Amino acid sequence: MAARQRCVVKSNTDYIYVNEDQIDSELKCSICQQAFVRPKIGTKCGHTFCQECIDNWFKQNSTCPSCRERTAFQPLTTRIVLNQLDSNNIERGNFDDHNNRCSEVRVKCQAADLKCTWVGKRSEEAQHSVACPLVTIRPVVADLRNEIVALSHQVQILMNELRQQQSNCVQNQVTVQRQRDVNAAEVVGDFMSRQEYFDELMADMRYRWISGPCNCFRACVKYPYEECRYEVPTFLRCLICSRELIP
């Protein structure tokens, strides 16, 4: 005979029943050996199991765990069984409230967030807390964490201000550079104007300006004029009309 397939079943609860011996064996799942939780029943064989237990079983098998018959399972709706579960206080409709008060439920150490690995009954938690060094220093650690959070917030504010200042500096640099470019253009333009004026002066110094008659005398005579006494004998130019004269 082939060996029976087995399913490794993990407990779907982290608690134990205070009066487990008083629970009818007919109301217990044959897989997890605990009272039914959301029971499902085989449509052909009638065997009943916890929903999670039978679902896990069918991940590795295709038959009923008890009779090996191929059958589907559906939620149990038989009122008499559900009433028995209610009357024995096995159905956990208000489990969260009970779980917060039950002395048998397994809880973690108050300093679990500080890496304490202790797990035990709630009734043993107080005794453990007295001896646990991490529980003792927990208030100090909490204060340090709060201080770190506050300092982190201040650092974030300063970082935001620094980023804003950096942005302002970049903007100011751009503005200054633009102003420099404008000023440089104005200086260059002014220099070019002065250079042109200087070139004109240098060109004019090549001539000796006279106020005597020239071909345009009639047009120029009505203006006041005088002789320019530069000692440049090579060229002559009319002081009025700037026309070059042949000596």
Q: First vs last Cα of the chain: how many Å apart? A: 144
CATH class, range 1-102: alpha beta
Rg (CA), the chain: 53
Q: Which residue, among 180, 161, 182, has the nearest Cα to 172 in the 3D structure?
A: 180
pLDDT at 157 over 50: yes
Percent of the chain with pLDDT over 90: 17
pLDDT in tens, 164-216: 999 988 888 888 888 888 888 888 888 888 888 777 777 666 555 555 544 44
pLDDT in tens, 71-80: 888 888 766 5
Give me the pLDDT at residue 228, please.
41
Give me the pLDDT at residue 133, please.
92
In this structure, which amino acid lies at residue 66? S
pLDDT at 29 over 70: yes
Q: What is the mean pLDDT of residues 105-116?
A: 88
- The DSSP bridge pattern shows strands 48-50 and 39-42 to be antiparallel
Q: How far apart are CA 20 and CA 18, in angstroms?
A: 6
Work out the widest C-alpha separation in the chain, in whole angstroms: 147
In this structure, which amino acid lies at residue 61? N
DSSP letter (8 states) at residue 7? -
Q: How far apart are CA 118 and CA 108, in angstroms?
A: 6
pLDDT in tens, 54-68: 999 988 888 898 898
List of residues 6+ apart from 205 with CB closer than 8 A: 230, 232
pLDDT at 124 over 70: yes
Written as six digits, the tokens of 39 are: 């029971």
Torsion sign, CA atoms 92, 54, 28, 17: negative
Q: Which residue, among 1, 4, 2, 3, has the nearest Cα to 65 in the 3D structure?
A: 4
| 33-37, 93-97, 155-159: least confident range | 93-97
Residues in the chain: 247
pLDDT at 147 over 50: yes
- Round the average pLDDT of the chain to a whole number and report it: 74
Say if residues 220 and 214 touch (Cβ distance below 8 Å): yes
Percent of the chain with pLDDT over 70: 63
* Better-predicted residue by pLDDT, 89 or 117: 117
Q: Which residue, among 232, 222, 231, has the nearest Cα to 240 in the 3D structure?
A: 222
